[in-house]
């Protein structure tokens, strides 16, 4: 990455206008991912002065500013308290504390990285993304809808709901990218399930979720059926990290274990 100029924006409007002025102008999150790219940036737009680095936890929602670092996210009590801390388990599996001290929540969402652990864990929650100029979009619509907002992501709003979560990651080494990851959130009405590093970006397993809807206690056959539906309806492919068959085996096994864990077994 080569930066020609740096603009330290004082308002969102100023930052947005700079981004609209030239395609080669780029917003900086933590800059960790951008640093890996061989890209020439005319004006790098810095939004660190805009107060987007706080987490506000209310009864109904946890409002996370886009410039909150992954480290501040994982160490916040409200995040630890949601779904038995599964978001913390997930975030702690992303590289090192040094990287997480710099990488931001906003950059982690906007990247739509296929390997993302963070997006898989968030995908089992009710998450709304807030963009400037004013636009709100559910995380699922952002990841899989046709509309791709081009504005600045300012906030990630997570519904503060009661439930139990579980996150699983399969990788070659502790610090490596995932070969597959999976998250489950058990809430009052049922289960939300998401699989990522398929190798595509996180996707909800709607067929498995519908099957488990309203089931109070799960029998072995229920868990097996949910796992079968998962690999029949969510596309799992091959790349240089793992084959589709490997991913299918891991996904089924992780789902069975995660369902046991969220049910306290």
Return the range that interacts with ligand FAD (CB under 6 A); candidates 3-11, 31-39, 56-64, 157-165.
31-39
Q: Which of 16, 73, 86, 118 binds ligand FAD (CB under 6 A)?
A: 118
**Within positions 173 to 232, which residues make up the interface with ligand FAD, using CB under 6 A?**
177
SS3 state at 43 = strand
User: Is there binding between residue 114 and ligand FAD (CB under 6 A)?
Assistant: no
User: Is 137 among the residues that bind ligand FAD (CB under 6 A)?
Assistant: no
Classify 214 in phi/psi space as left (phi over 0), alpha (psi -120 to 50) or beta: left
Stretch that binds ligand FAD, among 20-28, 156-164, 199-207, 255-263 (CB under 6 A): 20-28
Taking the complex as a whole, how short is the minimal distance between the CB of residue 107 and ligand FAD, in angstroms? 2
Residue among 15, 16, 26, 195 that touches ligand FAD (CB under 6 A): 26
Contact pick of 53, 63, 72, 117 for ligand FAD (by CB under 6 A): 117
Least distance to ligand FAD, CB of residue 120, Å: 8
Q: Give the CB-nearest residue to ligand FAD.
A: 107
| Number of Cβ within a 10 Å radius of residue 265 | 8
CA 165/CA 260 separation, integer angstroms: 11
Candidates 96, 58, 52; CA nearest to 74 is: 96
Q: How far apart are CA 66 and CA 69, in angstroms?
A: 8
Binding test (CB under 6 A) with ligand FAD, winner from 55, 88, 103, 137? 103
- Counting contacts by CB under 6 A, is residue 95 touching ligand FAD? yes
CB of 174 to ligand FAD, least distance (A): 10
Instruction: Kindly tell me which residue out of 27, 166, 180, 250 binds ligand FAD, with binding defined by CB under 6 A.
Output: 27
Exposed/middle/buried for residue 80 (C-beta within 10 Å: 0-12, 13-18, 19+): middle
Work out the angle at residue 40's Cα, subtended by the Cα atoms of residues 34 and 45, and round it to the nearest 5 degrees: 65
Among 55, 66, 82, 87, binds ligand FAD (CB under 6 A): 66
Dist CA 79 CA 74 (whole Å) = 7
Cis preceding linkage at 199, omega within 30: yes
Which residue, among 182, 180, 184, 183, has the nearest Cα to 198 in the 3D structure?
180
Residue holding tokens 């004006």? 43
149 binds ligand FAD (CB under 6 A): no
Which residues are at the interface with ligand FAD (CB under 6 A)?
A: 26-34, 36, 66, 70, 94-95, 103-104, 106-108, 110-111, 115-118, 152-153, 177
């Amino acid at each position: 990455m080569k930066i020609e100029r740096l603009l330290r924006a004082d308002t969102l409007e100023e930052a947005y206008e700079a981004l609209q002025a030239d395609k080669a102008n780029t917003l900086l999150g933590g800059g960790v991912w951008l640093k890996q790219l061989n890209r020439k940036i005319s004006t790098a737009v810095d939004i660190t002065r805009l107060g987007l680095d706080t987490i506000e936890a209310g009864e109904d929602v946890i409002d996370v500013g886009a410039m909150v670092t992954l480290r501040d996210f994982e160490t916040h009590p409200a995040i630890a308290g949601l779904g038995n801390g599964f978001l913390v388990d997930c975030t702690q599996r992303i590289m090192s504390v040094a990287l997480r001290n710099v990488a931001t929540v906003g950059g982690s969402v906007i990247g739509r990285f296929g390997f993302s652990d963070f997006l898989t864990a968030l995908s089992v929650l009710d998450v709304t993304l807030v963009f400037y100029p004013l636009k709100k979009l559910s995380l699922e619509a952002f990841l899989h809808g046709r509309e791709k907002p081009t504005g600045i992501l300012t906030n990630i709003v997570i519904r503060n709901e009661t439930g139990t979560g579980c996150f699983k990651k399969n990788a070659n080494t502790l610090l490596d990218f995932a070969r597959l990851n999976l998250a489950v959130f058990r809430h009052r009405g049922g289960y939300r399930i998401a699989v990522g590093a398929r190798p595509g970006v996180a996707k909800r397993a709607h067929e498995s979720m519908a099957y488990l809807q309203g089931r109070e206690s799960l029998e072995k056959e229920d868990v097996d059926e949910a796992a079968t539906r998962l690999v029949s309806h969510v596309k799992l492919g091959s790349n240089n990290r793992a084959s589709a068959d490997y991913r299918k085996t891991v996904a089924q096994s992780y789902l069975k274990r995660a369902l046991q864990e969220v049910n306290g077994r």
